[in-house]
Amino acid sequence: MTSEFNIRGEIERIVSYYDIWTIGKTDDASRSRMEHGNPVVWHCWHADSEMVARNIEKHFLDRGMTGAPGDGGHGDFAYIFMS
């Protein structure tokens, strides 16, 4: 599992423009990737807790990322993909 600080840092290194990325959280990363059409550019982290995944999602939504459609459930995986 990965800390909030580390996941946020990794996302910042990957992302140049927030508005072309989608962020979400899930309890099943493989299923979510499939539900989003198996995007080629996909990154996923197993967060320390559901609260950490939620905090990461909020942080990047506030910076302009798009929320994953249908997301809002529970889960301790945070993921991003290019929209």
Residue from 78, 83, 65 nearest 10 by CA:
78
Q: State both tokens at 75.
A: 């889960």
What residue spans define the domains of the chain?
Answer: 4-82
Estimate the crossing angle of helix 4-14 against helix 50-61, to 10 degrees.
40
The predicted structure's pLDDT at residue 69 = 83
pTM above 0.85, yes or no: yes
Instruction: Output the pLDDT for position 25.
Output: 95
Phi (first) and psi of residue 77, to 5 degrees:
-105, 130
Q: What pLDDT does 15 receive? A: 97
47-79 tens-digit pLDDT: 999 999 999 999 999 999 999 986 656 799 999
